[in-house]
């Protein structure tokens, strides 16, 4: 099965919208990166992408990356140091589990939207939204390569 078929234009718009909505709850900056498959260690790969997207360039170091290797159905969440300093280990476990539950039903876009919503809720306390918030990182999905793009 090609899981890219899961992503319609509506889904892509829905993911972007989910990020916009989540970022109304928190100063945290959420991004989604999609690629076909992950050939190395999942967490290493996600950390590489985090760096490549220059996600460490937020004032409060509170960028969050949702990394998905779509055809592998592999998924990782990475938060920047600002978040890791403030939240307990395992902070993302519940979100990660919820997303993976959707993936198991082959509902990848829906899983991402739910995970993004949960991340916004979870970060509300540690990193509340403040008036005059700047959108420091784009809400657009990023893709591994031109071939990955849909
Ligand atoms: Ca922001
Ligand atoms: Ca943003």
Q: What is the DSSP string of the chain?
A: --GGGG--HHHHHHHHHHHHHHTTTBS-EEEEEEES---S-HHHHHHHHHHHTTTT-STTS-EEEEEEEGGGTEEEEEE-HHHHHHS-TTTTHHHHHHHHHHHHTT-HHHHHHHHHHHHHHHHTTTSB--TT----S--S-EESSGGG--
At residue 3 the predicted structure's pLDDT band, cuts being 50, 70 and 90, is confident
Give the pLDDT score at 147.
57
Give the pLDDT score at 23.
98
Give the pLDDT score at 145.
66
Give the pLDDT score at 7.
87
Task: Report how far ligand 2's centroid is from the alpha carbon of 1 (Å).
Answer: 31
| Domain boundaries, given as residue ranges, for the chain | 3-128
Contact 35, 148 (CB under 8 A): yes
Q: How many other CB atoms are found less than 10 A from the CB of residue 63? A: 24
Pairing of strands 142-143, 29-35: parallel
User: Each residue of 76-112: pLDDT tens digit?
Assistant: 999 999 999 998 889 999 999 999 999 999 999 999 9
Task: Report how far ligand 1's centroid is from the alpha carbon of 139 (Å).
Answer: 10
Contact 38, 9 (CB under 8 A): no
Q: How many residues does the structure list for the chain?
A: 150
Task: Report how far ligand 1's centroid is from the alpha carbon of 134 (Å).
Answer: 5
Task: Report how far ligand 1's centroid is from the alpha carbon of 23 (Å).
Answer: 6
Q: Per residue in 112-128, is it b (16+ CB within 10 Å) or e — as a string?
A: bbbbbbbbbebbeebbe
Give the pLDDT score at 146.
55
Task: Report how far ligand 1's centroid is from the alpha carbon of 130 (Å).
Answer: 9
Strands (E), the chain: 29-35, 63-69, 74-79, 142-143
CATH of 3-128, one of 1.20.59.10, 3.10.310.50, 3.40.640.10, 1.10.15.40: 3.10.310.50
pTM check: above 0.75 = yes
At residue 144 the predicted structure's pLDDT band, cuts being 50, 70 and 90, is confident
User: Each residue of 21-65: pLDDT tens digit?
Assistant: 999 999 999 999 999 899 899 999 999 999 999 999 999 999 999
Give the pLDDT score at 122.
92
């Amino acid at each position: 099965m090609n899981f890219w078929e899961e992503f319609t234009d509506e889904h892509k718009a829905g993911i972007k919208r989910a990020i916009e909505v989540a970022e109304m709850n928190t100063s945290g900056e959420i991004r989604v990166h999609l690629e076909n498959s992950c050939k190395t260690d999942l967490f290493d790969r996600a950390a590489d992408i985090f760096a490549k997207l220059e996600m460490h360039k937020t004032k409060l170091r509170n960028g969050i990356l949702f990394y998905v290797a779509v055809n592998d159905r592999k998924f990782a969440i990475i938060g920047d140091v600002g978040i890791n300093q403030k939240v307990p280990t395992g902070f993302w476990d519940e979100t990660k589990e919820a997303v993976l539950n959707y993936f198991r039903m082959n509902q990848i876009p829906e899983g991402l939207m739910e995970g993004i919503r949960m991340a916004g809720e979870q970060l509300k306390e540690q990193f509340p939204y403040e008036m005059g918030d700047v959108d420091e990182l784009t809400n657009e999905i990023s893709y591994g390569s031109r071939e990955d793009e849909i």
